[in-house]
Amino acid sequence: MFHDRVDAGKRLAKLLANYANRKDVLVLGIPRGGVPVAFEVAQALHAPLDILLVRKLGTPGQQELAMGAIATGGVRIINDQLVADLGITKEQVAEAVAAQEGELQRREQLYRGVRPGISVAGKTTILVDDGIATGSSMLAAITALRTLRPEKIVVAVPVAPAHSDEQIKKTADEFICLYQPGLLFSIGQFYDDFSQTEDADVRSLLEQAAKTSLAERKLEKRGAA
C-alpha cells in the first residue's frame, strides 16, 4: 500500500491540501514513527512542525491497561473511575506518573534540544501518526491535546481500522485517513519498508522543519518590506 513513511506522508498531504499556506495551521507528529509522515505533511502544507509526546500510564501489574496518560505541555489525564474500580492508591498513581514524566522529559530534551515547543492554543492542529492499530494511543493523544486549547484537532493517518471513524470523531474534530481495511493486524503490513524510526531521525527532521519555517518567515518579511 505504501512504500515507506515518506511516501505515506506525501500521499496523506494531498488530502489535507485545503490546510496549505494558512498561518493558523500546525502539524504535530507522534514520535517516533509518526514524525517522518508528519514532516512530509508539514512541508507540503508550508506549516510548522512539532511533536506531541504522550506516555500512557499503565496500571500496576497490567501495564497494557492504561489508567491515564501524560503528554507534552504538562498535561496529565487520570481515569478516576478505573483507578477507583481497581483500588489503585494515590501513591501508585504518583509512582507511575513520576516514572513516565522522567521518560517524557528525557525524550523532550533528546528530540527538541533547547528549542521550546510551539504553542497550539487557538491553532488548527493536524495530529499525525504512521497509522492506528487499537486506537488507544491516539485517543490519549487527542485527549491530551484538547487540554492545550487548539481551535481544531484534525487527526490524519495513512492507515487505520474500518471502525476508527466512530472512535476518533468522538474526541477529534476531523478524521482523515487514506486507507481503512476491514482487517488490520498490524500497521507494518501496509508498508513495504516499516523499519524503525530512530531518535536521531526525529531530531533531524525537527531541525530541518525549523530551518524551513525560519527561511519562509524571512521571505515573507522581505516580501512585506
What single letter denotes the amino acid at residue 156? A
pLDDT higher than threshold 60 for residue 225: no
How many other β-carbons are positioned within 10 Å of the β-carbon of residue 24? 13
Predicted confidence at residue 65, as pLDDT, reads: 79
pLDDT tens, 135-160?
A: 877 888 898 899 899 999 999 999 99
Q: Which of 34, 14, 8, 1 is nearest to 196 (CA)?
A: 34
Q: Measure Cα distances from 29 to 87, 90, 173 in Å.
A: 35, 32, 17
Cell numbers of 121, please?
492554543
pLDDT tens, 8-50?
A: 999 999 999 999 999 999 999 999 999 999 999 999 999 999 9
21: Cα separation from own chain's centroid = 21
Please state, for a pLDDT cut of 70, what percent of the chain lies above it: 94
Cell numbers of 131, please?
497509522
pTM for the whole thing?
A: 0.87
Predicted confidence at residue 112, as pLDDT, reads: 84
What single letter denotes the amino acid at residue 162? A
Q: Which contiguous run of DSSP H or E holds residue 155?
A: strand 152-159
Domains of the chain: 5-54+120-212 (3.40.50.2020), 57-112 (no CATH)
Cell numbers of 185, please?
493486524
The pLDDT mean for the chain works out to 90
Peptide bond into 5 cis (omega under 30): no
